[in-house]
């Protein structure tokens, strides 16, 4: 029995066997990876409820888009309403009329009241603008705390032609005009 070199030869043999085994494992792994990659490329993935999930996802996206669009439109409408309110408030501060305009308001109101004698109520600041001789009917002039324009009263009948009432009657028209002017 030879002791010198036998350990070295056993180590060499083990190394050869280990190298061969490592090479075989590497080849097996490479083949498995290649097979998996081929399978991955050609695989048809079938999700059982794919169409249902896609339909639900599409519906959810449409709803989210609709919600975002509605929120945007609502924000624009709120912004427009705030702007219109500011415009109306500013106009209200500046409402004044000339004698010609106030007398036209009185004539318009008189057309809606069927009586020979009427009371015309105006703001105290506008009292001097009314000329009772310019009307076909007999009118008495009174003053009250109104925003401008006039109230015409005959017995139980009252026709409100104040700025506030005129604004309310014509609101659809002035809102449409202001909405066309408004640009966010």
What is the H or E stretch that residue 150 is in? strand 149-154
- Confidence at residue 70, expressed as pLDDT on a 0 to 100 scale: 94
Residue 120 confidence class, pLDDT cut points 50, 70, 90: very high
**pLDDT exceeds cutoff 70 at 119:** yes
Residue 8 is predicted with a pLDDT of: 64
Examine the pLDDT at 5 and tell me if it is beyond 70.
no
- Using the Cα atoms of residue 57, residue 58, residue 59 and residue 62 in order, give the sign of their dihedral: positive
Band of the pLDDT at 58, cuts 50, 70, 90? Answer: very high
Which has more confidence, 45 or 65? 65
What pLDDT is stored for residue 67 in this prediction?
93
Across 148-180, b (16+ Cβ under 10 Å) vs e yields bbbbbbbeeebbbbbbebbbeeeeeeeeeeeee
Mean pLDDT of the 149-168 span: 88
How high is the mean pLDDT of the chain?
A: 83
Higher pLDDT, residue 98 or 47: 98
* Average pLDDT of the segment spanning 2-15: 63
């Amino acid at each position: 029995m030879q002791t010198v070199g036998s350990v070295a030869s056993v180590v060499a043999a083990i190394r050869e066997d280990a190298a061969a085994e490592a090479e075989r494992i590497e080849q097996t792994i490479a083949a498995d990876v290649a097979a998996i990659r081929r399978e991955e490329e050609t695989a048809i993935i079938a999700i059982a409820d794919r169409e249902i999930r896609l339909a639900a996802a599409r519906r959810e996206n449409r709803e989210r888009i609709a919600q975002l669009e509605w929120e945007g439109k609502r924000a624009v409408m709120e912004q427009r309403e705030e702007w219109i309110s500011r415009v109306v408030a500013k106009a209200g501060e500046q409402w004044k009329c000339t004698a010609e305009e106030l007398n036209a308001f009185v004539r318009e109101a008189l057309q809606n009241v069927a009586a020979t004698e009427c009371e015309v109520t105006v703001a105290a600041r506008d009292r001097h603008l009314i000329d009772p001789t310019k009307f076909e009917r007999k009118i008495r002039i009174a003053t009250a705390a109104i925003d401008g324009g006039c109230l015409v009263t005959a017995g139980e009948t009252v026709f409100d032609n104040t700025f506030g009432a005129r604004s309310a009657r014509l609101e659809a028209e002035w809102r449409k005009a202001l909405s066309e002017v408004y640009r966010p």
